Structure 1
């Protein structure tokens, strides 16, 4: 059953030159108890989608969607008070820069205790007194902080990046959410601490059944923990599939470029071997290209790419491309999601 079901999400903002559609027809589906990886370059709109789900939106954003359901509740049809109440109880979010999200004038212990809601108490009534402090210590131990006394007595500026990230995770899981949104939780962390954070999120998913939306810009780093990966570029869906299928047979050129952007250090490198790179940069908001936004950087782009590609689905594999790679049309029977359109008869461009 889908815990989060988003169809044709569009986000527009007002600029001096008019409205700009920064999110263009994005689809997302996260099943109960799964981990979904939302991957893309910086500026692809991942954090915007995460903030819309977590209700951390701005007044000038124009948000529309054919479907925006969380646990069979249409979020966009709720009043601001109803949505704030639902999101505050069922959804939590880990932000990119934890130290900037904490109150610099209050100690960590007080902030953590403040975020523990009363309805999470499960003990006897005579154990009520002091239970929030005991719960705060338990949360710190769960995220891997052993010396809780020093952390609870410290201010945010006295913490390291890794400690701040773990404190932010402890605050996020204090209300026992059904959906945890992790917006690049390992940003600016060393590799060992980043691995610890990923293992912590994975253990929460396995032991508590917490569904996780993991936002990242690195497919290889999240591939060991995600059940499904959805790739985003400039606010448009490019590809979505189970992790193993996506890694073995990507159909979109951008997905393949992301996978090969990290060198395979298990193989020896030749002399002056070039690393896998993708030419060009992400376009500015005011200069978004027509049709497929990846067209100007795509090595296989043609005249047809000035039109927005149709979204295709083959079993659990979805992709939007006029000229897909690793794809042989006569071996499958395609299903078109949006509008009926036959796939290109161009040869395989792998």
Structure 2
């Protein structure tokens, strides 16, 4: 069943100089039980897409789409109150920098209990206080925190970033959402803690059938735990499809550059060989190139690239490029 179906998502920022298009006509879909990765450089618009899905962008941002369906309902055409009810019931999000997302003036027990809805508590109304505490303890155990007594009575600043991130995950899964969005969940964490969190998110998908949208700039980590992959560059969707197929036969030059820049994907890489990198850097929102935004950095750029390419289906996945790599090789 298709949970999320977005067509031509556009996110624009109102400035004194006019509208700046930060996300440019992105197509996106997510099925029930699917784990999808969303990757790209910092500033590519990954977090904006996630925040648009959960509806937390402020009024300076203008969000439009030809279709923005959640379980068949177009969220953008619903009243705001009804939209919030649907999102708060079915979708949960884990934000970057968990210690800043938690309330520094309240202990973890209070914050975790607040995230637990009454609908998941089985018992009489006068038992809710005890049931809520038991549920909070169970959630901490589920995310791998064994010393619940110490953690529940602590403030966020007294805990490590890894523990705070696990608490954020516990708060997110408290309402049993259909979709869990993890926005850079391993930022500033140790490699061992990163692996634990990725395995934890994967277990929710496998054991509960929870759909997971994993957002990160670390391609190798996302590829290990996702079934499908979408690649963003500077607000444009450049390629999407099955993770294995996309890694073994990329069609877009940017996806190819991302793969070449990761040593783990280069089995024949000689020691001390410089890693591949595209020239230049990602442009700022104020100076976006016309047409394909990768054009000024693309090694295969041609005159036609001043026009924005459409998203086309090739070899079981989608690519937005006038001159796909495999097609060029076939010629």
- Structure 2 CA distance for partners of 1:163 and 1:320, relative to 1, 3 Å: same
Partner of 2:73: 73
Partner of 1:34: 34
Partner of 2:329: 348
Judge conservation of contact 2:143–2:170 (CA < 8 Å) in 1. yes
Judge conservation of contact 2:22–2:234 (CA < 8 Å) in 1. yes
Partner of 2:250: 250
Q: How many residues align?
A: 331
**CA distance in structure 1 between the aligned counterparts of 2:262 and 2:194, rounded to whole angstroms:** 16
Provide structure 1 residue ranges, at least 5 long, that are not aligned to the other structure: 328-346
- Partner SS state of residue 348, structure 1: helix
Deviations along 1:314-337, one digit per CA (max 9) or x if unpaired, are: 36300011111123xxxxxxxxxx
When you count helix as a share of all residues, which structure comes out higher?
A: 2
Matched, 1:163 2:144: no
**CA distance in structure 2 between the aligned counterparts of 1:72 and 1:19, rounded to whole angstroms:** 30
Partner of 1:326: 326
Partner of 1:338: none
Aligned structure 1 segments of 4 or more residues deviating by more than 6 angstroms? none
Judge conservation of contact 2:263–2:269 (CA < 8 Å) in 1. no
**CA distance in structure 1 between the aligned counterparts of 2:271 and 2:114, rounded to whole angstroms:** 57
- Normalized against structure 2, the TM-score is what? 0.96
In the TM superposition, residue 279 of structure 1 has moved relative to its aligned partner by 1.4
In the TM superposition, residue 78 of structure 1 has moved relative to its aligned partner by 1.2
Judge conservation of contact 2:107–2:152 (CA < 8 Å) in 1. yes
- Structure 2 CA distance for partners of 1:145 and 1:270, relative to 1, 3 Å: same
In the TM superposition, residue 16 of structure 1 has moved relative to its aligned partner by 2.3
- Normalized against structure 1, the TM-score is what? 0.91
Deviations along 1:278-332, one digit per CA (max 9) or x if unpaired, are: 21111011100000000011011011110111221036300011111123xxxxx
Judge conservation of contact 1:263–1:276 (CA < 8 Å) in 2. no
Judge conservation of contact 2:260–2:266 (CA < 8 Å) in 1. no
Deviations along 1:96-129, one digit per CA (max 9) or x if unpaired, are: 1111011000001111011100011235678545
User: Which structure 2 residues correspond to residues 63-212 of structure 1 after superposition, within 5 A?
Assistant: 63-123=63-123, 128-212=128-212
Partner of 1:14: 14
**CA distance in structure 1 between the aligned counterparts of 2:285 and 2:47, rounded to whole angstroms:** 15
- Partner SS state of residue 326, structure 1: helix
Judge conservation of contact 2:220–2:264 (CA < 8 Å) in 1. no
